Amino acid sequence: MTDAANVPATENVPTRDRLLQAALVSFAERGFLGTTTRDIASAAGMSPAAVYVHYRSKEDLLFELSHGGHMDTIAEIDSADDAAQPPAVRLAAVMRAFSERHAMRHTSSRIVNYELHSLAPDHFTEISKLRRTITGRMRAIVDAGIETGDFDVADPQTTTNLLLSMGVDIARWYSDDGPLSPTELGDFYAKTALRVVGAVSPSPPNRPTPEN
Amino acid sequence: MTDAANVPATENVPTRDRLLQAALVSFAERGFLGTTTRDIASAAGMSPAAVYVHYRSKEDLLFELSHGGHMDTIAEIDSADDAAQPPAVRLAAVMRAFSERHAMRHTSSRIVNYELHSLAPDHFTEISKLRRTITGRMRAIVDAGIETGDFDVADPQTTTNLLLSMGVDIARWYSDDGPLSPTELGDFYAKTALRVVGAVSPSPPNRPTPEN
C-alpha cells in the first residue's frame, strides 16, 4: 500500500486520521513551513477552528505523523529481524524491510525525515530517541556479524549510518512509475547491504542436484 | 571550505553573490516555500526593491543556486575522473570527490537536492539535464567496470542510482561536529563503493618487503 494521494472524504475515517492525512498531503505539497493550519483544514474539508478541537497546532500534526512513522519503522524492523538467524540473514531481512518501506511510503518518509527540525524541542527529543532505537537495531546486527566473523567491517558506526542512509534516501528519489517495485528494490538493497558489510557469501541451500 | 553560516557584510562581496548567500541561508532556515523575498533582502541587508534589480523572484535565486551547485558537482567529478585509469580507481576517485563535496557543502547540497520541485518548469528541465549528466558520468564508470570484468554488477542503472544516492544523503545527516571529516568520509565511501560494485580487490602496490 502506497501513501494516499488525497484525503478520503468518507465519514468512516475518524476525524483525527482525516486531519493527519490532510496534514501529510499539505506538508508534501508545500513543506511544513509553507503550510498553514487553514490549508490543512481545507484539505480535510473542515474549518480551521475544527482543527484546533483535535490538534493544538500544525506542529502537533507533524509530531503525530513523525511519531507514528518512526514507531511503524521500528515495528517493521522487529517483525523482519530474527535474532536466532545468522547475521547475514538478519541484515538482508532488515534492509529489505527498511528499503521496501521507504519506497512504499515515500511521501510520508520524506516528511518524517526532512521536516525533523521543524519539531518543537521536546518533540524533537522524543523523535530523536526513536531514531536512536532504529540505529541501535541496525548496529546490533552489524556488531553481531563482526562478532561471528561473518562481516568485515572497519567502522561499525559509519557502516550502520550508511546502511540506514541508503534506505532513507530512497524516499527522496523513488517514483511509483520507476522500473523497480518496492519489493524488487528491497531485494536489491538487501543484497547490496551484504556487500557493504563485506559479508562472506552464505552457502547455497543444500539441495540435491540431478547428478547426486 | 564549508558553507558560510551567515552572510558576509563586507562591501567586497558583489551584490549578486551576497543575495545568493542570503537566499541560501534563508532557504536553509525556513525552506524555499517558507521564505519571502523580504527575508532574503533582510538577510542581505537590502530592501526588497533592491533584490528585484538583480533577480526577478526568489525562484530565480533558487535556480541560480541550483545551477551553480550542479555545475560545480560536474566540474568536481570531471576533475577527479581520469578515464585512462582502471574502473576501480575511477570509481573510488569520483565517489570520494562526490561524497566529500556533499559533506563539506551540506547546507547548499540539501537545498539543491530537496527544493528541486519548487523550480519553475523550464528551470526544472534545465536542472534535470544537469542531473542526467551527473548520472551519466557515474554510469559510464560502472559500465566500464562491467566491460573489463572488474565489477560484478547485475543492474547497472540501479547500482548507479544507489551510488549517487549514498553521496546525496550525506547532506541530510552530516554534521560538522561529527566524528569523520569530509575527507575521511570520502575515503570510507570510496572503499564502500568498490564493495557495492563487487570490485575485484586491486593488487597492492608492488613494493619490496624487508624479506626480498
The answer to whether residue B12 scores a pLDDT higher than 80 is no
Residues B195-207 have a mean pLDDT of: 69
- Residues shown for chain A: 212
Cβ contacts of residue A74 below 8 Å, gap of 6+? A130, A133, A134, A137
Query: Which pLDDT score, from 0 to 100, does residue B182 have?
Result: 97
Q: DSSP of B82-137, one letter per residue?
A: -TTS-HHHHHHHHHHHHHHHHHHTHHHHHHHHHSGGGS-HHHHHHHHHHHHHHHHH
Selecting from A113, A159, A196 the residue whose C-beta is nearest the C-beta of B196 gives A196
Find the mean pLDDT for residues B69-94.
98
- Residues A22 and A41: their CA atoms lie apart, in Å, by 8
CA distance, residue B154 to nearest chain A CA (Å): 9
- Residue B209, pLDDT score: 46
Alpha carbon distance B7, B22 (integer Å)? 6
Residue A154: DSSP 8-state: S
Cα gap B161→B111, rounded to integer Å: 19
Give the percent of chain B with pLDDT over 90: 79
Do A169 and B165 count as a contact with CB atoms less than 8 A apart?
Answer: yes
CA of residue A45 relative to chain centroid, distance: 28
Closest to B188 (Cβ–Cβ): which among A158, A166, A195?
Answer: A158
ipTM of the prediction: 0.86
Q: Tally the residues of chain B.
A: 212
Above 60 in pLDDT, residue B196? Answer: yes
pLDDT of residue B30 exceeding 50: yes
Would you give per-residue pLDDT tens digits along chain A (212 residues)?
Answer: 445 445 555 555 788 999 999 999 999 888 888 899 999 999 999 999 989 999 999 999 999 999 999 999 999 999 999 999 999 999 999 999 999 999 999 999 999 888 898 999 999 999 999 999 999 999 999 999 999 999 999 999 999 999 999 999 999 999 999 999 999 999 999 999 999 999 976 544 444 444 44
> Which domains, ranges and CATH numbers included, belong to chain A?
15-55 (1.10.10.60), 59-196 (1.10.357.10)
Place of cell 548520472: B135
Determine the average pLDDT of the residues in B187-194: 98
- Is pLDDT at B1 greater than 50 in this prediction? no
The pLDDT-based confidence of B34 (bands split at 50, 70, 90) is confident
Q: What is the pLDDT of residues B135-161, one digit of tens each?
A: 999 999 999 999 999 999 999 999 999
Spatial distance between the Cα atoms of B105 and B5, rounded to a whole number of angstroms: 11
pLDDT greater than 60 at residue B197 = yes
CB A127 within 8 A of CB A135: no
Q: Are B162 and A178 in contact (CB under 8 A)?
A: no
Q: How far is CA B156 from CA B109, B151, B159, in A?
A: 25, 10, 5
**Cα separation values, B69 from A29, B102, B130, B167, Å:** 24, 10, 10, 14
- Using CA atoms, how far apart are residues A46 and A15, in angstroms rounded to an integer? 10
Whole-number pLDDT of residue A114: 87
Residue closest to A119 by CA, chosen among A32, A39, A25: A32
Look at A196 and B192 and tell me if their CB atoms are within 8 Å: yes
Q: Enumerate residues 6+ apart whose C-beta is below 8 A from A143.
A: A156
Q: Are B179 and A157 a contacting pair at CB < 8 A?
A: yes
> What is the per-residue pLDDT for B43?
95
Averaged pLDDT score across all residues of chain B: 90
Q: Which residues lie below 8 Å from residue A16, measured CB to CB, with a gap of 6+?
A: A54, A55
Q: Tell me which chain A residue has its CA closest to the CA of residue B117.
A: A29
**Beta carbons of B117 and B131 less than 8 angstroms apart:** no
Distance CA B67, CA B63 (A): 6
DSSP A33-46: TT--HHHHHHHTTS
Contact: A172, B170; criterion CB under 8 Å: no
B104-130: per-residue pLDDT in tens? 999 999 998 888 989 999 999 999 999
What residues in chain B have their Cβ under 8 A from chain A's Cβ atoms? 30-34, 113-114, 155, 157-159, 161-162, 165-166, 168-170, 172-173, 179-180, 185, 188-189, 192, 195-196, 198
Is A23:A58 a contact under the CB 8 Å cutoff?
A: yes
A169–B169 C-beta distance less than 8 A: yes
| Residue A23 Cα distances to A10, A104, B39, angstroms | 17, 19, 25
